[in-house]
Amino acid sequence: MTEAYATIVFLFVLFTLLGSSIWIGLALMGVAWVGMEMFTSRPAGDAMITTIWTGASSWTLTALPLFIWMGEILYRTRLSQDMFRGLAPWMRWLPGGLLHTNIAGCTIFAAVSGSSAATLTTVGKMSIPELRKRGYPEYMIVGTLAGAATLGLMIPPSLTLIVYGVSINESIIKLFMAGIIPGLVLAALFMSYIVGWHFLRPHERPEPEPSMSFGEMLAESRFLIPVLLLVFAVIGSMYFGWATATEAAAVGVLGSLTLALFQRSLTLDAFFESLMGATRTSAMIALILMGAAFLSLSMGFTGLPRALAAWIDEMQLSPVVLIAALTVFYIILGMFLDGISSVVLTMAIVEPMIRQAGIDVIWFGIFIVVVVEMAQVTPPIGFNLFVLQGMTRHEIGYISKTAIPMVGLMLLMVVILVAFPGLATWLPENIRQ
């Protein structure tokens, strides 16, 4: 009865604070404070100070602002134009044509930016006008871009995976490596959707692109070299054991600054804008993590996570049934909270449950990123929908409809991960230490 009473109190205070438009980080701290005061004899102020300092001073967390800054710098370069120019010659001959540049461009940019919104904005600002000019259907342009931009959450460096790793005290590099193969598989699913559209709706195809010689295609590919070198510097340095996640983030910042200087697109104003943008985003995520750390401590004192884990164990749910239930839970939660908030808010409860069920925490990190990706393109709080609305001037309802097939493919990705867990676990297990 104590656990049930604590659950009701926690949920009531949480929804009351969130409904009053208080910042999520402060709302989490408020819930934790109430829990400490009501269910423990420990001074809430001392516990909050100690927990927040411990969580905020994590060395692993230093990678977060660096990766955010790297994405902010690249957003202000000519990277999107160069990527479209380098990718277009190779995508034009695929069934579906240049629509594949949305997927390929987002996949490449995701490897140098951990943000879904930054990926969407960078790729979209060049691909949308180019694809419109060539006569591609609007619903395909918007839908494929909305879905593909979510790859920024999975392909390393992923901000969501960093937050997840910090929340459960797991290796960030192993989580990064775990996201590579599933990210590429999901990108392939998105591209298969475009291929299906090409053959099922031939009347919507635009005029074919003019032919190019192989030499001309190679010459245009030179525009991809800088970003591919940056991808290798960031991901390769972690895979080969040359750098930790934080050191790789510093390498990425230096590489993006170098790329911006060579493109002559880094003005003093752009530099300070990128720095302030990274500071704002990092501070927002850090506040959420602080609140989540305090809430985890408060819930731990009530015994609520242990009681839920024991309850799940008594129900004798198979891991597959538990994953199915968590998929529905996170999809519903994602309709009202952003991805990072969903992760930190639930980890104190969910982590004991999955460990009790024998589910690999590395694999679960990739699973949770896939279901959080759906939250980016589902109303009413799908952040990618708002970004696309600003870029295309379409209604949220229209953009949501165009993204429905992509949400279906993400659900298919969950099924694939359950059927083939090695997609997420093979690379981390064989990573060169």
Tokens linked to 389: 């609305």
Task: Work out the pLDDT band at 119, boundaries 50, 70, 90.
Answer: confident
Residue 143: closest CA among 400, 379, 373:
400
> Residue 310: is its pLDDT beyond 70?
no
How many other β-carbons are positioned within 10 Å of the β-carbon of residue 412?
A: 13
Task: Work out the pLDDT band at 380, boundaries 50, 70, 90.
Answer: low
What is the CA 353 to chain-centroid distance, rounded?
23
Among 6-10, 69-73, 246-250, 401-405, which range has the highest average pLDDT?
Answer: 401-405
Q: What is the pLDDT of residues 29-78, one digit of tens each?
A: 888 888 777 777 777 777 777 777 776 666 667 777 888 888 788 777 77
Does residue 218 or residue 324 have the better pLDDT? Answer: 324
> Residue 175: is its pLDDT beyond 60?
yes
- Contact present, 151 and 180 (Cβ < 8 Å): no
> Residue 180: is its pLDDT beyond 60?
yes
Task: Work out the pLDDT band at 424, boundaries 50, 70, 90.
Answer: very high
pLDDT number for residue 187: 93
Tokens linked to 61: 């967390």
User: What sign has the CA pseudo-torsion 156, 158, 164, 169?
Assistant: positive
The parent domain of residue 29 ranges over 1-431
Task: Work out the pLDDT band at 186, boundaries 50, 70, 90.
Answer: very high
Distance CA 175, CA 363 (A): 8
Q: What is the pLDDT of residues 232-258, one digit of tens each?
A: 888 888 877 788 878 888 888 888 888
Among 16-30, 74-88, 188-202, 281-295, which range has the highest average pLDDT?
Answer: 188-202
Compute the mean pLDDT over every residue in the chain, rounded to the nearest whole number.
Answer: 81
Distance CA 273, CA 202 (A): 45
Mean pLDDT, residues 69-92 taken together:
78
What is the CA 362 to chain-centroid distance, rounded?
15
Task: Work out the pLDDT band at 412, boundaries 50, 70, 90.
Answer: very high
Q: What is the pLDDT of residues 328-357, one digit of tens each?
A: 888 877 776 667 777 877 787 788 888 878
Mean pLDDT, residues 12-19 taken together:
74
pLDDT number for residue 4: 66
Encode 340-373: b = buried (16+ Cβ within 10 Å), e = exposed: bbbbbbbbbbbbbbbebbebbbbbbbbbbbbbbb
> Residue 193: is its pLDDT beyond 90?
yes
Distance CA 391, CA 132 (A): 13
pLDDT number for residue 195: 93
Distance CA 248, CA 251 (A): 5
pLDDT number for residue 207: 79
> Residue 432: is its pLDDT beyond 60?
no
Task: Work out the pLDDT band at 385, boundaries 50, 70, 90.
Answer: confident
Among 29-38, 185-194, 218-227, 232-241, which range has the highest average pLDDT?
Answer: 185-194
pLDDT number for residue 192: 94
Among 205-209, 280-284, 412-416, which range has the highest average pLDDT?
Answer: 412-416
Does the reported pTM lie above 0.85?
Answer: no
Q: What's the number of domains the chain is made of?
A: 1
pLDDT number for residue 182: 93
Does residue 122 or residue 104 have the better pLDDT? Answer: 104
Q: Where are the alpha helices (DSSP H) in 134-213?
A: 138-148, 159-168, 172-200
> Residue 153: is its pLDDT beyond 60?
yes
